[in-house]
Chain A
Amino acid sequence: MSVIVDVKDLSKTYEGGFEALKSVSLQIEQGEILALLGPNGAGKTTLISALCGITEPSGGAASVAGHDIQAEFRAARRLIGLVPQEVALEPFEKVINTVRFSRGLFGKPKDDALIERILRQLSLWEKRDARTRELSGGMKRRVLIAKALCHEPQVLFLDEPTAGVDVELRRDMWEVVEGLKSSGVTIILTTHYIEEAEAIADRVAVINRGEILLVEQKAALMQRMGRKSLRIDLREPVPAVPDALAPYALELGSDGHSLTYHYDTKGDGTGITRLLQALAAEGLSLRDIQTTQSSLEEIFVDLVKEDAA
Chain B
Amino acid sequence: MNWLAILAIYRFEMARFYRTLMQSFVSPVLSTSLYFVVFGTAIGSRIDQVEGVSYGAFIVPGLIMLSVMTQAISNASFGIYFPKFIGTIYELLSAPVTFFEIVLGYVGAAMTKSLFIGFVILGTSSLFIDLQIQHPLAMLGFLVLTCMSFSLFGFIIGIWAQNFEQLQLIPLLVITPLVFLGGSFYSISMLPPVWQTVTLFNPVVYLISGFRWSFFGQADVAIGASLAAIALFTGICLFLIWLIFRTGYRIKS
Chain A residues within CB distance 8 Å of chain B = 14-15, 49, 52-56, 73-78, 80, 82, 84, 86, 88-93, 97, 100-109, 147
Contacts and interface: CB of A to CB of B under 8 A. Distances in A.
* Interface of B: prevailing SS: helix
B96 A107 contact: yes
Given A104-B8, A105-B8, A78 B96 contact: yes
Interface string B1-45: 010110111011001100100000000000000000000000000
B7 A56 contact: no
A78 B252 CA distance: 19
Contacts, number: 82
Interface of B: 2, 4-5, 7-9, 11-12, 15-16, 19, 82-83, 86-88, 90-97, 248, 252-253
Contacts of A77: 94-96
B93 A93 contact: no
A51 B9 CA distance: 23
Contacts of A92: 16, 19
A14 B252 CA distance: 11
* List of 9 A-B pairs having minimum Cβ-Cβ separation, nearest first: A104-B8, A88-B87, A74-B96, A52-B94, A77-B96, A105-B95, A107-B2, A54-B93, A101-B12
Contact of A56 (B16, B90, B97, B252): B252
Nearest to A87: B87
A56 B96 contact: no
A105 B252 contact: no
Contacts of B88: 88-90
A97 B4 contact: no
Given A55-B252, A56-B252, A105 B86 contact: no
A82 B94 contact: yes
Nearest to A82: B94
Given A56-B248, A104-B5, A88 B90 contact: yes
Contacts of B248: 56
B4 A107 contact: yes
A88 B209 CA distance: 45
Contacts of A49: 253
Nearest to A79: B96
